[in-house]
Amino acid sequence: MEIRDDIKRILKSCHSDPFYVLGMHVVGDGFAGKLEVRAFLPEADKAWVVDENTGEEFLMSRIRDQGFYILRLDREDTFPYKLKIQTADGDISEFKDPYSFDRVLTDYDIYLIREGKHYNKYEKFGAHLMEIDGISGVHFAVWAPNAEGVSVIGDFNRWDNRRHPMRVIGSSGIWELFIPGLREGDLYKFEIKSRFNKYRAVKADPYGFYFEQRPKSASIVYDIHKYRWNDDEWMTNRSKTNWFKRPVSIYEVHLGSWMRAPDEGNRFLTYREFADKLIAYVKDMGYTHIELLPLSEHPLDDSWGYQTIGYFAPTSRFGTPDDFMFFVDKCHQNNISIILDWSPAHFPKDGHGLGFFDGTALYEHQDPRKGEHKNWGTLIFNYGRNEVRNFLLSNALFWLDVYHIDGFRVDAVASMLYLDYSRKNGEWEPNIFGGNENLEAIGFIKKFNELVHQYFPGILTIAEESTSWAGVSKPVHLGGLGFDMKWNMGWMNDMLEFISQDPVYRKYHHNNLTFSLLYAFTENFVLVMSHDEVVYGKKSMLSKMPGDRWRKFANLRLFYGYMYSHPGKKLLFMGGEFGQWDEWKFNRGLDWHLLELEDHRKLWNYARDLNGIYSSEPALYEVDFDQKGFEWIDFRDTDNSVLSFIRRAGNPDDHIVVVCNFTPVPRFNYRIGVPEKCFYREIMNSDLDEYYGSNLGNSGGVNSSDIPWHGRQYSMELVLPPLAVLYFKPER
């Protein structure tokens, strides 16, 4: 009677331990043992058990019309076997029985997973090609604690949820199955039947390494360990790198719209094409890092990648996982770091994704006051749950380990830190101390930063955190969140408000220029002009500038020159370097044809030279996060909208004098105080003709004199070009 009930559950694909029913079993009363081999083969018209030792074949009996077969043998010694079937159209095939294999996941795996400490969990979950007892196949594992049945479905079983039911391991909620004979490239999903409300769903693999291209959504079996890397030297040197004292000039890129192939239907470029075109471009322009908008698999182009489905899969829009590895490898061979935009703050509600995974709020909070971002239409991870926290931590380590990524820019950190983020009164619940801090998310962020730096020294973590939360870039052991750096959103907003003003009004907004220096050393800041500032009606960088065409270009050159001399690392979104007129559009390439025009081409050359000077002058990058690296000369000249200051390297004698004229009025005989009596070479002038300026300047440099000025013993008299920035370096 019991086995009949078990068979019914197998036929309904809702048995939590199909190995109890299927496969080879010794049965019988007392010492009178007999063998039974049971198999569910709905595609079979006939079925046999084949003894692999002798080749003998035993015809099985069909005991259920749906295709349940049993073989009873009057023997009790088990033997290795295969199943052989003949279909109604006469096709014959042989295969190993999935239910003849032992468990793959160990008790120690289960213990670590339940504790939330299995940091290489990606090596156990998902779909893994392996050999067991010399038999090749794929091992599947998935977490679904509230399911009564989970099946692997795919092309190999005609998407029939009855064919390959998985077994749950004890009370862990972890289901696993090894299916022999499967190969790389096979499509699969998990079909889940919940214990609650007859919920049934077909889900993509949360740990899938490769996915079909949208709108299809199946996971694809893929061997992520076959690529042979050629970046050993880079990886060794990276672990010794102190990025705080190195130049960091980040080129932010959305691969889907950096460049396309318009003569081929506006198709995407591939990872390997980017390895040729993008890397050569970035290297020529002098950027040190490429930051990629999220590449984890996502169903909707319009989300720019920020609503992730496949956290462990580079999107198939541009090629295979090996293709992406090739791209990263080529970056490293060209001394370019790769920062990946990472989105652990939320995930989309798409039916094949993580939401309501096993008929319950498994990855997300059940309480909507904690579990949903209504403004974004997304769900929030339950950071207090060990398995969920482990999922995200192992994901971060996965990208660093498997894909050699050099760091993360973590998106929407503020939304993680605050329980009341974008919520009205009554829409959020205070923490146990009555505050609005999300203690579980804070704990997760700290653990993330500790782990990635412990296992992968030399990588960078950068927070997009838009509030005044203290200690974002302070180490965890000193009470901070543990990020290396933080986007300086305050500087960005102040500068855009200032630079968009007509110069005649800028003297009334002078504090926008200087306010950032009051807090510039409270965090390790990255000065950013990101993708968020050139969409949704905010205009492109060039279009934000006031005045006629010439003044727009001059203002933008001045703005970039001030940005590169201000304390903090640098980030610019693609297109800003050559003066894109249109706002960024995710569904088409940049307007590269603009480089045929003189003013755009010369702005482009200026951006290249600016990167070159920045990377070659330690005074501009070596002491970015300490007051010792910056010194005002004069910030009080509001009437003329002129700023002058000094940047110093680790060796304070190595310094650069910077002067910015934020008006279109040239200023002659403009005197500033300087530290030394020597010749100051003009190493950068944004008004040069080669940059599409008016070619006004200081003939290559100026000698300082004994005339005291600005509280200093020496001074020099300058010509300040209109809407321009000047850099001077002492030559002794």
Sequence-distant (6+) residues with CB within 8 A of 75 are 34, 35
Sequence-distant (6+) residues with CB within 8 A of 446 are 476, 481, 482
- Cis, peptide link before residue 215, omega less than 30° from 0: yes
How far are the Cα atoms of 113, 375, 455 from residue 451, in angstroms, in the given order?
Answer: 16, 31, 6
- How far, in Å, CA of 258 to CA of 288, rounded? 18
Say how many CA atoms lie within 13 Å of 125 toward its Cβ. 29
Helix 271-285 vs helix 321-333: crossing angle, to nearest 10: 20
Sequence-distant (6+) residues with CB within 8 A of 438 are 383, 416, 417, 418, 419, 431
10 Å Cβ neighbour count for 502?
10
Strands (E) across 534-666 are located at 569-573, 630-634, 642-648, 655-661
- How far, in Å, CA of 262 to CA of 613, rounded? 35
Tokens of 162: 């009855």
How far are the Cα atoms of 159, 160, 220, 340, 402 from residue 155, in angstroms, in the given order?
Answer: 6, 9, 11, 33, 27
Say how many CA atoms lie within 13 Å of 129 toward its Cβ. 14
- How far, in Å, CA of 636 to CA of 514, rounded? 9
Beta bridge partners of 680: 702, 730
Tokens of 10: 């197998």
- How far, in Å, CA of 727 to CA of 724, rounded? 10
The torsion defined by the Cα of 389, 395, 397 and 402, in degrees rounded to 10, comes to: 160
- How far, in Å, CA of 388 to CA of 343, rounded? 14
Beta bridge partners of 167: 176
Beta bridge partners of 140: 127, 177
Q: Distance between terminal CA atoms of the chain?
A: 98
* DSSP-H helix ranges across 577-658: 598-616
- How far, in Å, CA of 14 to CA of 151, rounded? 9
Helix 549-565 vs helix 489-499: crossing angle, to nearest 10: 150
Spell out the SS3 assignment of 187-238. EEEEEEEECCCCCEEEECCCCCCCECCCCCCCEECCCCCCCCCCCHHHHHHH
Of 551, 543, 562, 411, residue with least CA distance to 494 = 562
- How far, in Å, CA of 85 to CA of 48, rounded? 6
Residues serving a catalytic function are 411, 464
